[in-house]
Amino acid sequence: MTDRPLVAVLDYGSGNVHSAVKALQAAGADARLTSDRGLILDADGLVVPGVGAFQAVMEALRAQRGDELIGRRLAGGRPVLGICVGMQVLFEHGVERGADTEGMGEWPGAVTELDAPVLPHMGWDTVDAGAGSRLFDGIENERFYFVHSFGAQHWPMEPQTPFPQPILTWCSYGRQPFLAAVENGPLSATQFHPEKSGAAGIRLLSNWIGGLGGRSL
């Protein structure tokens, strides 16, 4: 018998993340907000939420050794999903209001202010899903909810044969597109909030959960 996949939502003090837990449960997961290291490492999937500034999120993650836990999971090929600033901190560094903060460096490049006349980018928007995307399977033409002023606007990672190439999903806002999502082996992330994106967001989370497998009882 197979139970619902266990998904840990990393609790490191990043705002109100209970909506993410509820959305994951609605999408088919046994989701738990937790700071328990054993549970975080053993769960079928780990979700890293993020609200606020890049620097503040990185400081809070490091204070809880969350960056170490994320790194250990990825080293073992265990799935991780970053959301909003939880996506941004996966890059090498973030530049916000004069502060250049080191990120986790799972992906190269910088998170910078969007080149747009009106910020933040807030509300519903469509995305250009990458070919072969699992996250956007069946929802390629749907709209998702964004609220941010910063993003990754370039992808400098060079192809690394024989490894599969990351699947990149972009969004157009302002003068320069930014990454709306990345799927890179066990590590995936979205700049938008799937937990605030209605039925399309639940479907995206369900697509991610579907790749986790279940727990044998």
Catalytic residues: 84, 193, 195
List all residues 6 or more positions away from 58 whose beta carbon is below 8 Å from its beta carbon.
67, 89, 94, 101, 102, 103, 104
Separation of alpha carbons 179 and 195, rounded Å? 18
Alpha helices in the chain, H assignment, sequence order: 18-26, 37-42, 54-63, 66-75, 85-88, 198-210
- Asked if residues 40 and 8 have their Cβ atoms less than 8 Å apart, the reply is yes
Separation of alpha carbons 205 and 134, rounded Å? 10
Separation of alpha carbons 181 and 184, rounded Å? 10
Considering just the CA atoms, what is the radius of gyration of the chain in Å? 16
Which residue in this structure is represented by tokens 């989701």?
A: 31
Give the burial string for 95-128 (b: 16+ CB within 10 Å, else e). Answer: ebeeeebebbebbebbbbebeeeeeebeeeeebe
